[in-house]
Amino acid sequence: MSIDNRPWVEKYRPRDLDEIVNQKGIIKRLKQFIKDKSMPHLIFAGPAGTGKTTSALAIVRELYGRQMAVNTTYLELNASDARGIDVIRTYIKDFAKARPPVDIPFKILILDEADNMTSPAQQALRRTMENYTKNCRMILICNYSNKIIPPIQSRCVVFRFSSLNNEDIKERVKFIAKEENITISPDGLNALVEVSKGDCRRAINYLQSCGTISKKIDQELIFRVAGEVPPDKIKEILNTALEGQLNFSLKLLEDTVKDYGLAGINIIKNIHREIYDLNISEYLKIELSKLLAEFEYRLSQGGTEEIQLQALLANIVMLHDTK
């Protein structure tokens, strides 16, 4: 019996369009393309981990079935690697102009991370799309469709994928956990959804990382693997600083950094996540947001983490009199 040692993201990737969740309107239109055996060039745009690449591969699988063959019926390229104009004029053009096998309507070229292509490469691509439409249809996948030049956008139908909702991610995680004989507690499941931020791929990767440590997963393990701090610890640091206790808040911050091994920028992101749930005035929330923005910029410019984080807490303590 062979052991499937693929990453769980690949092992549990949906095989057909019906398995893709939270994109019902898009899936319905794509299935009509498959039924008609005809489709225009497509752009799949949206956040990471929402099913764009999976949908493209599912189209190929459902359209070609057993005839699915790389370099013959479809080709998948990552535009962040192959993004130069020479690749467009040679490799991609050669694939697009070659006639498809007699028994398939057209070939498909999947160009992932197309928003990373250079402008000259995109200009070259639009001519290839125009000249060889009969032989080849292209699916361009990107996070930001506005980075695709307007001439290409006008030649394509744009599908905008939305972030997955919490319930959809929970259902997928519970399915994978059951398949892998992993027990995940309710608070651990909620924590996993929180740190994944609508990205199902990230949630599955975190689940696999936790599964290598323990077959019983709880909130604490999720936060440690994800490099996040439990909300109650961040709130304790903030409330202590807002009460004017600088030394105690510094001690809590130091212990948190040591326990979770976080970088300064991660601490600031964790604090930002919690400030709007604090029981403080709107004015204080505004001032905290401005402070976090300033100190995030300082860290991005190379400021010393320890000094900047201590200065951040000192500034928060100074807000004590305005509560």
| pLDDT, tens digit (0-9, with 9 covering 90-100), for 111-163 | 998 888 888 888 888 888 888 888 899 999 999 888 999 999 999 999 999 88
Distance of CA 32 to the CA centre of its chain: 27
Q: What ranges do the domains of the chain cover?
A: 8-160, 166-226, 231-322
Cβ(296)–Cβ(311) below 8 Å: no
Residue 151: C-alpha distances to residues 105, 123, 156, 201 (Å): 25, 8, 9, 31
Cβ(317)–Cβ(244) below 8 Å: yes
- What mean pLDDT value characterizes the chain? 87
| Other Cβ atoms within 10 Å of 204 Cβ, number | 24
Q: How far apart are CA 72 and CA 69, in angstroms?
A: 5
Q: CATH for 8-160?
A: 3.40.50.300
φ, ψ of residue 183 to 5 degrees: the values are -105, 125
297 pLDDT exceeds 90? yes
One CATH from 3.40.1190.20, 2.40.110.10, 3.30.360.10, 1.10.8.60 for 166-226: 1.10.8.60
* 3-state SS class at 160: strand
Cβ(213)–Cβ(221) below 8 Å: yes
The pTM assigned to this predicted structure is 0.79
Mean of the pLDDT values across residues 1-18?
77
Query: What residue type is 287 in one-letter code?
Result: E
**Region of poorest pLDDT, from 66-70, 231-235, 267-271, 315-319:** 66-70
Between 34 and 22, the higher pLDDT residue: 34
Q: Is 232 left (phi over 0), alpha (psi -120 to 50) or beta?
A: alpha
Q: What is the DSSP string of 88-154?
A: IIIIIHHHHHSPPPTTSS-EEEEEETGGGS-HHHHHHHHHHHHHTTTTEEEEEEES-GGGS-HHHHH
Q: What pLDDT does residue 94 have?
A: 87
* 3-state SS class at 30: helix
CATH class of the region 231-322 = mainly alpha
